[in-house]
């Protein structure tokens, strides 16, 4: 009896209910399920998909003042955006930020996870401390790091104390490389997240594999190089997508640390979009920036969700 | 061999302690600065411990941000509760009532979890203005609930997928329908999932800055993170007050994290579609 139930369970709910009467019951309940889900479907369709389409549409009209103007102008806003100096700086900053932020998160996250996987005493405490920053907001992070990165105080005082009086970086106030400093604060916040992903991945690697490698005479480094790191590729892929997505939309941290900074050194697409739209009322230009951000993210989201399809369709 | 092993172990602990110290530094600086009196907050003494515990920074910060702290409570608690309820029923449907196209629909939901909000902000404002919800806390709660649909559905779906179908079959034979199964079988088993989702939504909504900034135009209604940003942006406010305000903004999520860290971790992993 139990065995039969298990077999039926695998086929699913519908197949296990026999008889015409029950089947029609099943059908009406299925309709009910779709009905209950439909407000959420509508909400997602309206607030996500139709809004994206709407944003793209606004980017093709002439609405660049406080008065809505839906005169179609084609790609005029896009052409203007692509030739805009501030936009070029934003793209440069995106590259700086993405490289700095993603590499810190992934390298430190992996190293800490690998170390914590060595049967460490107090592992839970270390884990708690390292994920801790992820519990606070981007604004709080920004306020703290702004104080730490003041050129005349903060970290620079520590540098001076250890004899580095001549090494006093401007951090996020640097007119060209300010974005690297922002990436340090951002990575401080998110490395724990990446570490947690790697730790879960490491715990999923069967012990036999490591033992087999040890028997074959592989040292610790070789085991990591040839067995563990390749096995963790899916985790690395996830980490790249999540940190990449964060790089595209960084806003809170920049707002709290320095705004767009000197010569737009810490300006980002998100901050530019916000200022253009809600500060300068250039709605169509803002919509073009927002649309551009959606397109950039799609390059990360679509392959990611595609790769997760198997996992989702359990 | 054992000596070498001892060295390696020592080095591992040393590196871990160094990392832990690094991740604590900003908290250390926030706390010591927040506890200093106004005249001691200067650039040369930044790393020094306060001479005693001075609460003037905290008190002034609290006077400035307490209305916003309350706003955040009013926004976050109902939004987290409602979006968890929506998530549980959606997760139930996606896990157990797999109609044709359900999986594709689910993936279309998930896309919403990842896209940058800048791509939808303008229509969001226009729509909220049209329906009269712009600038109201009710409107902001609704927006948080809608943007929470993907992640909450994901978390509940993976949880409910682990509940055996035989249990549901048995309930059906006993005459339970769509709602009966949910009410009598799944809901009583959902406590752990609710804890994870509530915690996740609470943290996300509490820490939100962008949506609160856009939807609530009036500073009087602004949530805590917007208020902290306003304080930090005005140069007349001293650092000890700024740090205190940041600590006040961070306190609820820090407390929740320390009390329920394990659940937080589970949400973290599931939120990346792993776990």
Instruction: Point out the residue among B108, B169, B228 whose CB comes nearest to the CB of A16.
Output: B169
Q: Greater confidence, B245 or A260?
A: B245
- Chain A residues 224-263 within an 8 A CB cutoff of chain B: 235, 238, 242, 245, 248-249, 251-252, 255-256
**CA dist., res. A183 & res. A96, Å (int):** 8
> Do B98 and A12 count as a contact with CB atoms less than 8 A apart?
yes
**CA dist., res. B270 & res. B275, Å (int):** 5
Q: Find chain A residues with C-beta within 8 A of B30's C-beta.
A: 143-144, 147
pLDDT digits (tens, 9 = 90+) for B71-82: 999 999 999 999
> Do A37 and B253 count as a contact with CB atoms less than 8 A apart?
no
> Do B93 and A36 count as a contact with CB atoms less than 8 A apart?
yes
Using the Cβ of B274 and the Cβ atoms of chain A, whether some distance falls under 8 Å is answered with yes
E strand or H helix at A175: none
Q: What is the mean pLDDT of residues B17-38?
A: 93
Using the Cβ of B1 and the Cβ atoms of chain A, whether some distance falls under 8 Å is answered with no
Are A284 and A77 in contact, with CB atoms under 8 Å apart? yes
Instruction: Point out the residue among A191, A252, A312 whose CB comes nearest to the CB of B107.
Output: A312
Q: What is the mean pLDDT of residues A220-234?
A: 90
pLDDT at A186 > cutoff 60: yes
Using the Cβ of B269 and the Cβ atoms of chain A, whether some distance falls under 8 Å is answered with yes
Q: Distance from B203 to chain A by nearest Cα, in Å?
A: 7
**CB B240: neighbour CB atoms within 10 A?**
25
pLDDT band at A55 (very low <50, low <70, confident <90, very high): very high
Are A287 and A59 in contact, with CB atoms under 8 Å apart? yes
> Do B26 and A270 count as a contact with CB atoms less than 8 A apart?
no
pLDDT band at A24 (very low <50, low <70, confident <90, very high): low
Q: Find chain A residues with C-beta within 8 A of B246's C-beta.
A: 139-140, 143-144
CA count, 13 A, side-chain hemisphere, A249: 24
Name the β-bridge partners of A72. A61
pLDDT digits (tens, 9 = 90+) for B61-73: 999 999 999 999 9
pLDDT at B265 > cutoff 60: yes
pLDDT at A292 > cutoff 90: yes
pLDDT at residue A17, as a whole number: 46
pLDDT at residue A151, as a whole number: 83
Q: Find chain B residues with C-beta within 8 A of A248's C-beta.
A: 116
pLDDT digits (tens, 9 = 90+) for B202-225: 999 999 999 999 999 888 999 999
Concatenated DSSP letters of A134-164? GGS-HHHHHHHHHHHT-TTSTHHHHHHHTT-
pLDDT at residue A54, as a whole number: 97
Q: Tell me the C-alpha to C-alpha distance, in Å, between residue B157 and each of A177, B87, B149.
A: 44, 8, 12
**CA dist., res. B248 & res. A229, Å (int):** 41
Average pLDDT, chain B: 91
Chains A and B form CB pairs within 8 A to the count of 293
pLDDT band at A169 (very low <50, low <70, confident <90, very high): confident
Q: Which residue has the tokens 């009087």?
A: B220
Are A189 and A133 in contact, with CB atoms under 8 Å apart? yes
> Do B146 and A29 count as a contact with CB atoms less than 8 A apart?
no
Does residue A121 sit in helix, strand or coil? coil
pLDDT at residue A23, as a whole number: 60
pLDDT at A9 > cutoff 70: no
pLDDT at residue A14, as a whole number: 46
Does residue A72 sit in helix, strand or coil? strand
> Do A154 and B46 count as a contact with CB atoms less than 8 A apart?
yes
pLDDT band at A313 (very low <50, low <70, confident <90, very high): low
pLDDT digits (tens, 9 = 90+) for B102-136: 999 999 999 888 889 999 999 999 999 999 999 99
pLDDT at residue A1, as a whole number: 33
Q: Tell me the C-alpha to C-alpha distance, in Å, between residue A274 and each of A51, A214, A293, B105.
A: 16, 55, 12, 31
Q: What is the mean pLDDT of residues B21-39?
A: 92
Q: Which are the contacts of B207, defined by CB distance < 8 A and separation ≥ 6?
A: A136, A137, A138, A139, B225, B253
Structural domains of chain B, ranges and CATH numbers in brackets: 61-271 (1.10.3720.10)
Concatenated DSSP letters of B134-197? TT-HHHHHHHHHHHTHHHHHHHHHHHHHTS-HHHHHHHHHTT--HHHHIIIIIHHH-HHHHHHH
Using the Cβ of A58 and the Cβ atoms of chain B, whether some distance falls under 8 Å is answered with yes
Are A286 and A273 in contact, with CB atoms under 8 Å apart? yes
Q: Which residue has the tokens 């019951």?
A: A25
- Chain B residues 110-149 within an 8 A CB cutoff of chain A: 110-112, 114-124, 127, 143, 146-147, 149
pLDDT at A2 > cutoff 70: no
Instruction: Point out the residue among B121, B166, B229 whose CB comes nearest to the CB of A6.
Output: B166
**CB A298: neighbour CB atoms within 10 A?**
15
pLDDT band at A217 (very low <50, low <70, confident <90, very high): confident
**CA dist., res. A283 & res. A61, Å (int):** 9
Does residue B238 sit in helix, strand or coil? coil
Q: Distance from B204 to chain A by nearest Cα, in Å?
A: 9
Name the β-bridge partners of A61. A72
Q: Find chain A residues with C-beta within 8 A of B89's C-beta.
A: 36-37
Q: Find chain B residues with C-beta within 8 A of A137's C-beta.
A: 206-209, 225, 249-250, 253
pLDDT at residue A287, as a whole number: 97
- Complex-level ipTM: 0.92
pLDDT at residue B267, as a whole number: 75
């Amino acid at each position: 009896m139990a065995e039969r139930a298990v077999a039926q369970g695998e086929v699913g709910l519908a197949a296990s209910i026999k008889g015409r009467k029950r089947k029609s019951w099943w059908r009406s309940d299925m309709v009910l399920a779709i009905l209950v889900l439909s407000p959420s479907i509508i909400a997602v369709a309206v607030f996500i998909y139709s809004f994206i389409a709407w944003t793209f549409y606004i980017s093709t009209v002439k609405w660049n003042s406080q008065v809505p103007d839906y005169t179609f102008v084609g790609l005029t806003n896009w052409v203007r955006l692509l030739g805009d100096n501030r936009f070029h700086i934003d793209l440069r900053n995106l590259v700086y930020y993405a490289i700095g932020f993603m590499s810190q998160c992934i390298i430190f996250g992996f190293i800490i996870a690998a170390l914590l996987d060595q049967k460490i005493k107090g592992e839970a405490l270390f884990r708690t401390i390292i994920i801790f920053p992820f519990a606070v907001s981007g604004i709080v992070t920004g306020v703290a790091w702004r104080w730490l990165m003041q050129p005349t105080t903060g970290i620079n005082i520590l540098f001076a104390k250890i004899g580095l009086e001549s090494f006093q970086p401007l951090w996020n106030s640097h007119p060209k490389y300010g974005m690297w400093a922002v990436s340090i604060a951002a990575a401080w916040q998110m490395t724990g997240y990446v570490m947690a992903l790697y730790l879960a991945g490491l715990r999923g690697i069967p012990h036999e594999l490591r033992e087999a490698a040890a028997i074959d005479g592989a040292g610790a480094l070789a085991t990591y190089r040839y067995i563990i790191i390749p096995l963790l590729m899916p985790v690395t892929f996830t980490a790249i997508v999540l940190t990449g997505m964060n790089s595209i939309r960084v806003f809170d941290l920049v707002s709290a640390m320095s705004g767009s900074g000197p010569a737009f050194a810490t300006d980002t697409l998100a901050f530019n979009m916000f200022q253009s739209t809600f500060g300068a009322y250039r709605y169509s230009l803002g919509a073009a920036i927002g649309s551009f951000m959606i397109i950039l993210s799609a390059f990360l989201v679509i392959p990611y969700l595609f790769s997760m399809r198997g996992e989702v369709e359990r | 061999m054992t000596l070498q092993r001892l060295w390696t172990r020592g080095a591992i602990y040393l590196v871990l302690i160094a990392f832990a110290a690094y991740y604590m530094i900003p908290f250390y600086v926030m706390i010591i600065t927040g506890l200093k009196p106004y005249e001691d907050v200067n650039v040369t003494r930044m790393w020094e411990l306060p001479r005693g515990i001075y609460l003037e920074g905290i008190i002034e910060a609290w006077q400035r941000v307490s209305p916003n702290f309350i706003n955040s409570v009013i926004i976050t608690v109902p939004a987290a509760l409602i979006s968890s309820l929506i998530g549980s029923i959606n997760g139930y449907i996606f896990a157990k009532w797999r109609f044709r196209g359900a999986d594709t629909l689910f993936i279309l939901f998930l896309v919403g979890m990842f896209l940058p909000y800048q791509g939808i902000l303008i229509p969001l404002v226009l729509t909220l203005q049209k329906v009269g919800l712009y600038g109201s806390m009710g409107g902001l709660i609704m927006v948080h609930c809608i943007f929470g649909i993907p992640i909450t559905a994901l978390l509940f779906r993976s949880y409910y997928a682990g509940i055996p179908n035989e249990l549901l079959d048995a309930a059906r034979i006993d005459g339970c329908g769509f709602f009966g199964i949910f009410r009598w079988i799944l809901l009583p088993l959902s406590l752990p999932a609710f804890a994870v989702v509530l915690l996740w939504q609470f943290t996300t909504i509490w820490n939100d800055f962008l949506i609160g900034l856009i939807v609530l135009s009036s500073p009087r209604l602004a949530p805590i993170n917007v208020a902290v940003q306003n304080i930090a942006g005005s140069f007349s406010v001293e650092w000890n007050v700024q740090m205190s305000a940041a600590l006040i903004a961070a306190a609820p999520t820090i407390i929740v994290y320390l009390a329920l860290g394990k659940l937080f971790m589970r949400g973290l992993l599931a939120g990346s579609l792993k776990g």
